[in-house]
Each structure stands twice: as structure tokens, then as C-alpha cells.
Amino acid sequence: MIIPMKRTIVTSLALVLVLVFAAISQTASHEHQVVIQMNSPAGDSWNQLYANIENIQKVFANDGIQIEVVFYGKGLSMLLKTNAQYEERMKKAAATGVVLAACQNSMRIQKVKTEDLMPFAAQVDSGVAELIRKQEAGWSIVKVSE
């Protein structure tokens, strides 16, 4: 009587573990990760950036999507507080979980301080190094250009 009960418990536990691992692997395999590089001055590419963000958020809404935009070089000015034209769109993107990251190397070269950036801006040590790290971690890279 005890032996069949133990088998039932062990079998049930094994089945639960299999189901848990299957659920975890299903969730992880469907999440998409994209890093977008922004190294363009003001112009059509800035509008294209937000169109791309909105499009991929819609397409992958059911799967899950992580998005990071790395602003470096000429693109850094997009994150400056003086960029009132794009502030609302950037706030909206940040509110949906998009990471908007400024390159500290570009900040140093352009003499931009943390307080010059919009408050929701994150920072990375190097824009190009961040792109490399993300690619090595399996993220897709998208380049926005004119």
C-alpha cells in the first residue's frame, strides 16, 4: 500500500517538474531582444526610430520584447533636455520599458553632463561596446539611418 503511494507521488512530482521546465523554456524562447543604434543627427532617422519602436512592439506584443536604444556620436543630442521636439515621444517609449541609453564616451567628448540629459535617460560606458555586449548576448541589432 505504501509503495504504490510513493510511486504516485514521485510520478506526480516528476510530471510537475517536466511541466514547469517546459513552461520556462517556452517563455524564454519567445522573448525578443533588440538593441537599436542611433548615431544620426536630427532628421528623418529620428522619426524612423520611433516608427521602428512602435512597429516591433506591436508585432512582438504577444511574445514579449525588450528594446534598448543606444545614442552615441551625433545621435546623443536626441537625449538632451534641449530636445523638446522629441521629449514626449521619448517619455512614451521609456514608459513602455524601452531603455534609452546615452554613451558616456560621447558625453565626455561633447562635454555633456548627466544633468543635461532627459531624466529618463540611462547611461552606458561606451555605445559601441554596449552594442557588442548585446550582440554577444544574443540580441538583434538594428541600425537606424537616413
Q: Write down the residue that cell numbers 561606451 correspond to.
A: 126
* Better-predicted residue by pLDDT, 4 or 136: 136
Please name every residue paired with 34 in a beta bridge, in sequence order, or none if there are none. 67, 140
Q: Could you tell me if 8 and 53 lie in one domain?
A: no
Q: Could you tell me if 65 and 104 lie in one domain?
A: yes
The number of domains in the chain is 2
- Confidence (pLDDT) at 115: 98
**Are the C-beta atoms of residues 40 and 71 closer than 8 Å to each other?**
no
Convert the pLDDT of each residue in 78-133 to its tens digit: 999 999 999 999 999 999 999 999 999 999 999 999 999 999 999 999 999 999 99
CATH number for position 92: 3.40.1260.10
Residue 123 — φ and ψ, nearest 5°?
A: -135, 145
Mean pLDDT of 52-75: 95
**Pairing of the two strands 99-103 and 140-143:** unpaired
Assessment of whether the complete model's pTM goes beyond 0.75: yes
- Confidence (pLDDT) at 135: 97
**Average pLDDT over the chain, rounded to whole?**
85
Q: Could you tell me if 70 and 86 lie in one domain?
A: yes
Q: Could you tell me if 26 and 38 lie in one domain?
A: no
Q: Could you tell me if 43 and 14 lie in one domain?
A: no
The residue type at 59: V
Closest CA to 32 of 59, 71, 50: 59
Q: Could you tell me if 68 and 98 lie in one domain?
A: yes
Q: Could you tell me if 12 and 25 lie in one domain?
A: yes
- Confidence (pLDDT) at 9: 62
Q: Could you tell me if 50 and 112 lie in one domain?
A: yes
**Are the C-beta atoms of residues 23 and 17 closer than 8 Å to each other?**
no
- Confidence (pLDDT) at 89: 93
Q: Could you tell me if 73 and 130 lie in one domain?
A: yes
Where in the sequence is the domain holding 8, given as residue range(s)? 1-30
Closest CA to 42 of 2, 86, 3: 86
